[in-house]
Copies of this chain bind each other. A is one copy, B any other.
Amino acid sequence: MTAAFVQTVQQTVDAEWAKIKQGGFWRRVMGEPVPMALYRDLMLQVYHYSRHNSMNQAITAFQPAPEGLLKFVYKHAAEELGHERMVIHDLKSIGMFEESDLDEPPFPATEALIGYLYYVALRYGAVARLGYSFWAEGVYGHIAEPFGKISRDLQLTSKNLTFFGSHAEADEAHIRQVTEAIARFATTPEDQAAVLKVARTTLFLTGQLIEQVAARHPMGLARP
């Protein structure tokens, strides 16, 4: 039954990804040369939300949770700490970072994603937040296509892609751990509904995040 539930989460996530792949970001990136500024804007949004991912994971502990899940939570919160600095490193490595860029507020979808995850943590707790981890740990397969295109357009090498590179490597083990955690801990109807809700909502917001990046760089206007 829990194996069946993991499949349900996977289907929910796949359906959401299918919508995202029909959207403006995919069209923009795959259809025309990608300008440096689009890539920088994208990475700045990644910076904004990724620097909260450790903390909004840790504070899920406000809601009672099984000890094994809290152990998982603390371990992952510790691993993600400071990862946003890789984003800055990657932008610096191609000369696309100004300290003042960080003063710009996050885009609305980014801000909503950050805030929603703190809410999920305090209100729903650790089981529910697995709905976010589930697709976030497996994001690299889905975004390989546009990221490949961006890398080719901008001639990025692995030295410029430490954030996504290091995460992609950790991928397989993490996906397995999150999947196991969902199968083990999301066993009540309430918890399963919460996992699905959080998976759908956070992936929707992330889809909007990349849409808002693309909207700043309309097709046929910008050149790299």
Contacts and interface: CB of A to CB of B under 8 A. Distances in A.
A89 to B, nearest CB: 15
Interface in A150-199: 193, 196-197
Contacts of A78: 71, 74-75, 78
Contact of A70 (B54, B73, B111, B208): B54
A55 B60 CA distance: 9
A5 to B, nearest CB: 15
The complex is assembled from copies of this chain, and their number is 4
Contacts of A3: none
A205 B59 contact: no
Contacts of A81: 67, 70-71, 74
A91 interface: no
A77 B111 CA distance: 24
Given A115-B120, A119-B119, A61 B55 contact: yes
Nearest to A120: B115
A77 B75 CA distance: 10
A204 B123 CA distance: 23
A58 B54 CA distance: 11
Contacts of A139: none
B109 A119 contact: no
A112 B112 contact: yes
A109 B116 CA distance: 11
Given A55-B70, A67-B82, A105-B196, 11 more contacts: A54-B70, A55-B62, A58-B59, A58-B61, A58-B74, A78-B78, A105-B197, A115-B120, A116-B119, A119-B119, A204-B208
